[in-house]
Amino acid sequence: MHLSRSAQLQTLLSAAQIQSRVAALGAQLSRDYRHVTELRLIGVLRGAWIFLADLVRHLDLPVTCDFLGVSSYGVQTQSSGVVRLTSDLAEPIAGLEVVLVEDIVDTGLTMRFLLDTLSLREPRRIRVCTLLDKPSRRQVSFVPDYAGFTIPDQFVVGYGLDWAGAYRHLPYIAVYDPQ
């Protein structure tokens, strides 16, 4: 893969804005789950790992983490609409309070697939925490329980989000324009 040297990145959310919002989400989750003996965060790979790492450091409660992988983009800037599970959880979630941590909720197809799949494993409850919410692209009805930012219908990279594996390392979120 060759990254386009002519690609333009325009900052949408600064590193400071992101860190402030992640801290607020951590405080909100800590309040909402203060009564649980164990909260399981499940990070959706690959995009959510940076968000999950920062979020978990802001939690003031007993928490464990697991990951699962899904794919629906490939090297495109729009979801293919076909969701594949690329890696599964390492531990069971039956009876647990679960928060599914996602980088972005776009069409809602991936989230619907994950919620349907994980509900069969009989967790006590599953909620969704996403850093970015893009409701203008929804193809299925879905509203995340926790959302960091609502963004416009633009393709974004950075802070874990990528285009063809690139740009995840950026500490901010930028609109990606391949032109």
Which amino acids are annotated catalytic?
106
Q: How far is CA 45 from the centre of its chain?
A: 8
Do the beta carbons of residue 160 and residue 173 sit within 8 Å? no
**DSSP character string of 57-85:** TT--S-EEEEEEEEES-TTSSS--S--EE
- Cβ burial of 157 (10 Å; 0-12, 13-18, 19+) is buried
Tokens 């203008």 locate to 136
Distance CA 149, CA 166 (A): 22
Do the beta carbons of residue 69 and residue 54 sit within 8 Å? no
Distance CA 19, CA 53 (A): 12
Distance CA 132, CA 34 (A): 24
